[in-house]
């Protein structure tokens, strides 16, 4: 590990820290950082320590470059820094009083602009000034690579044991397996982001909130919590990721692993005996690859969620009429029973409501008698087979060749929620026709935007979603024009393309065919991108509304549309000047 010999350890005032935050200079790497998990009480206690001038641990950051700007990547101290921001921005109080926004020029300006609200009662100005002048111990260093920063984080937290055992497994882990666990966990919690590196301000928008704080993900809407599979403390300690990791191991190893910490350590390559470690990357490749495994997991998860929605009970009360323990293990058994039928036996669900009724009390009858032994693979397999045998009557043979085809719903919800932190990789349109007298076709504009996504560099990904309005104004216009209400989802509005299709085409198939023909005839160079776009058109139904997602991923070359390079500037697609084309090529040469 190479480190810049100059290690800068200095005192930084709270005022300076808030200035860094305001100027978007505090960066979080979700690849190794856990969620923002401190409760209101923990934040208040920390601020109280500052007010009383008690010593606090060192804040450790790395000076790094992010989007052509030098920023501080937080290695240790993210919870403390967020506690400071939460207090200054009036999200939490101290002894019933809120930070006086007049104490800092930045907060006063934001209050005057309506960006911050002063809660009452206000803390005395002198006390606020004492807090903002408090000197935090700040250690700044510079490392050669991201891997070095991740290793420092893992070592720091390994020594102190401040993270849960599974957070330590995930922290800085490389390979496909932890990447899949991280992605699926974020999708289900809905705290997704377009990339691992995001600003602290954006991290706060997608972290689990707690009482008194409105910003972030409402825990009551998280599946694991509202179905009583995991407790709040479990989720904050990343037990949901642990649960998903166990399920993925079971899927790729054909259920031949125990539910244990040892099994997880082996899957993450952390066993003391290297011989016992599992080459999960090879198993995933053999299983069908990362994308296939993710799609399959999400499809099974959606079928379970849809089954639960066809009844009035949550997961816990549906399966168990009597008090039970190890709800997370019970969920694993149900998930794998669905996996057995949907994937291994190539079946589909015939009657969700009848299936829901069949699951009523099944935990008392089949799971509870063996719950203490269900961690062992042999007993778990027997339990899976017993449950699959009982519910199989509500399944029938699937006609489709691929049992892991995604229904598109989870993909859509993920795209909508991930756009909270960054707009660049996404574009949402209510359809391909303008809602005016001319009804101008905008398919060329859509294709141009797709090509612009590619020109952000190697492996960059972009999505265009048809059937979504990105503002209430556009949704209202759609309703006024077509006479059909949209469905609000995550600050977006699902309009669907059905009404547009009725007006301009004979069927959805014709609508899609016209779209495909536009892509085939478009002036796109190199042409292999056309094939890629056509292979990645995903059409599906979301709550009876038809939606289409187009996806493109940069390969080895940048892309031209009608002889010009395009790129995204915020939410706009703009032509690249001839003098700047070399910068596009440089992104693919690196």
Confidence of residue 410 (pLDDT cuts 50, 70, 90): low
Confidence of residue 214 (pLDDT cuts 50, 70, 90): low
For range 297-312, the mean pLDDT: 94
**pLDDT tens readout for residues 488-544:** 988 899 999 999 999 999 899 999 999 999 999 999 999 999 999 998 888 877 778
Q: Do residues 507 and 461 share a domain?
A: yes
* Model pLDDT, residue 167: 64
Q: Do residues 357 and 249 share a domain?
A: yes
* Model pLDDT, residue 240: 94
Q: Give the CA dihedral 124, 130, 132, 133, nearest 10 degrees.
A: 150
Share of residues in the chain with pLDDT > 70 (%): 88
Lowest mean pLDDT among 131-140, 423-432, 443-452, 488-497: 423-432
The domain spanning residue 529 has which CATH number? 3.30.950
For range 410-414, the mean pLDDT: 71
pTM over cut 0.75? no
Cα separation of 140 and 142, whole Å? 7
Q: Do residues 373 and 431 share a domain?
A: no
DSSP category for residue 276? G
Confidence of residue 219 (pLDDT cuts 50, 70, 90): confident
Confidence of residue 6 (pLDDT cuts 50, 70, 90): low
Share of residues in the chain with pLDDT > 90 (%): 55
* Model pLDDT, residue 5: 43
For range 259-267, the mean pLDDT: 88
CA 450, 453, 455, 460 dihedral sign is negative
Domains identified in the chain, total number: 3
Q: Do residues 148 and 277 share a domain?
A: no
Q: Do residues 140 and 247 share a domain?
A: no
Domain contains 566: yes
DSSP category for residue 193? -
**pLDDT tens readout for residues 67-122:** 888 999 998 899 999 999 999 999 999 999 999 999 999 999 999 999 999 999 99
Domain contains 180: no
Q: Do residues 355 and 429 share a domain?
A: no
Domain contains 168: no
Cα separation of 503 and 511, whole Å? 10
Highest mean pLDDT among 161-170, 420-429, 485-494: 485-494
**pLDDT tens readout for residues 389-408:** 999 999 998 764 443 444 46
* Model pLDDT, residue 343: 85
Lowest mean pLDDT among 207-216, 357-366, 380-389: 207-216
Q: What residues pair up with 347 in beta bridges, in sequence order?
A: 397
Q: Do residues 282 and 345 share a domain?
A: yes
Q: Do residues 239 and 373 share a domain?
A: yes
Confidence of residue 162 (pLDDT cuts 50, 70, 90): low
**Could you give the maximum distance between any two Cα atoms of the chain, in Å?**
73
* Model pLDDT, residue 461: 87
Closest alpha carbon to 290 in 185, 181, 190: 181
* Model pLDDT, residue 402: 44
Domain contains 20: yes
Domain contains 184: no
Domain contains 68: yes
Q: Which of 115, 130, 163 is the last residue of a domain?
A: 163
* Model pLDDT, residue 160: 44
- Contact between 197 and 29 (Cβ < 8 Å): yes
Confidence of residue 164 (pLDDT cuts 50, 70, 90): low
* Model pLDDT, residue 4: 45
Residue 223 exposure: Cα atoms within 13 Å on the Cβ side: 22
Measured CA to CA in angstroms, residue 192 lies from 406, 413, 479, 548 at distances of 18, 10, 30, 21
Q: Is the pLDDT of residue 130 over 50?
A: yes
The mean predicted confidence, pLDDT, of the chain is 87
Q: Do residues 150 and 229 share a domain?
A: no
Measured from the Cβ of residue 219, the count of other Cβ atoms closer than 10 Å reads 17
> Which residue has better confidence, 151 or 5?
151
Containing domain of residue 251, as a range?
A: 219-397
Q: Do residues 567 and 434 share a domain?
A: yes
**Those residues with Cβ within 8 angstroms of residue 549's Cβ, 6 or more apart along the chain or in another chain:** 408, 411, 412, 415, 463, 464, 465, 466, 537, 538, 539
Domain contains 212: no
Q: Which of 95, 130, 163 is the last residue of a domain?
A: 163
* Model pLDDT, residue 15: 96
Q: Do residues 145 and 19 share a domain?
A: yes
For range 138-158, the mean pLDDT: 69
Confidence of residue 2 (pLDDT cuts 50, 70, 90): very low
Domain contains 172: no
Q: Do residues 312 and 252 share a domain?
A: yes
């Amino acid at each position: 590990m190479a480190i810049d010999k100059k290690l800068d350890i200095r005192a930084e005032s709270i005022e300076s820290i808030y200035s860094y935050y305001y100027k978007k200079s505090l960066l979080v790497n979700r690849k190794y950082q856990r969620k923002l998990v401190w409760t209101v009480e923990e934040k208040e206690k920390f601020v109280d320590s500052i007010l009383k001038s008690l010593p606090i641990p060192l804040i450790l950051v790395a000076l790094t470059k992010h989007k052509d700007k030098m920023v501080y990547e937080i290695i240790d101290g993210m919870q403390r820094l967020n506690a400071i921001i939460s207090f200054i921005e009036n999200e939490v109080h101290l002894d019933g009083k809120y930070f006086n926004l007049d104490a800092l020029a930045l907060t006063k300006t934001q209050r005057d602009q309506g960006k911050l609200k002063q809660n009452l009662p206000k803390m005395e100005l002198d006390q606020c000034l004492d807090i903002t002048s408090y000197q935090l111990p700040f250690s700044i260093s510079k490392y050669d690579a991201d891997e070095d920063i991740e290793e420092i984080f893992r070592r720091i937290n390994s020594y102190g044991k401040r993270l849960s055992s599974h957070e330590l497994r995930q922290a800085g882990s490389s390979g496909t397996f932890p990447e899949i666990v991280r992605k699926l966990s974020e999708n289900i919690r809905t705290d997704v982001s377009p990339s691992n590196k995001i600003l602290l301000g954006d991290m706060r928008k997608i972290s689990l909130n707690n009482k008194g704080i409105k910003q972030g993900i409402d825990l009551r809407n998280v599946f694991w919590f509202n179905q009583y599979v995991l407790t709040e403390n479990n989720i904050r300690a990343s037990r949901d990721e642990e649960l998903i990791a166990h399920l993925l191991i079971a899927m790729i190893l054909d259920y031949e692993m125990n539910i244990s910490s040892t099994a997880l350590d082996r899957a993450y390559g952390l066993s003391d005996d290297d011989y016992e470690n599992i080459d999960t990357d090879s198993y995933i490749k053999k299983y069908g690859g990362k994308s296939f495994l993710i799609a399959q997991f999400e499809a099974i998860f959606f079928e379970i969620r849809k089954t639960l929605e066809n009844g009035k009970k949550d997961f816990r009360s549906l399966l168990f009429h009597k008090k039970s323990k190890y709800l997370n293990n019970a969920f694993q058994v149900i998930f794998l029973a669905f996996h057995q039928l949907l994937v291994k036996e190539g079946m589909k669900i015939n009657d969700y409501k009848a299936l829901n009724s069949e699951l009523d009390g099944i935990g008392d009858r089949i799971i509870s008698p063996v719950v203490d032994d269900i961690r062992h693979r042999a007993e778990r397999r027997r339990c899976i087979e017993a449950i699959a045998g009982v519910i199989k009557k509500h399944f029938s043979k699937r006609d489709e060749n691929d049992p892991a085809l995604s229904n598109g719903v989870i993909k859509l919800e993920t795209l909508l929620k991930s756009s909270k932190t960054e707009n660049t990789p996404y574009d949402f349109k209510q359809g391909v026709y303008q809602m005016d007298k001319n009804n101008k076709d905008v398919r060329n504009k859509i294709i141009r935007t797709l090509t612009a996504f590619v020109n952000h560099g190697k492996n960059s990904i972009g999505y265009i979603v048809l059937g979504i309005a990105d503002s209430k104004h556009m949704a209202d216009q759609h309703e006024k024009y077509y006479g059909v209400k949209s469905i609000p989802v995550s600050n977006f509005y699902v309009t669907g393309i059905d009404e547009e299709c009725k007006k301009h085409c004979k069927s959805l198939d014709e609508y899609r065919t016209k779209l495909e023909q536009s892509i085939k005839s478009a002036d796109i160079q190199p042409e292999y991108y056309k094939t890629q776009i056509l292979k990645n058109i995903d059409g599906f139904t979301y709550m009876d509304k038809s939606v289409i997602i187009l996806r493109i991923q940069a390969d080895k070359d940048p892309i031209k549309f009608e002889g010009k390079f395009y790129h995204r500037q915020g939410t706009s697609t703009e032509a690249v000047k001839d003098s700047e084309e070399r910068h596009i090529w440089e992104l693919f040469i690196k």
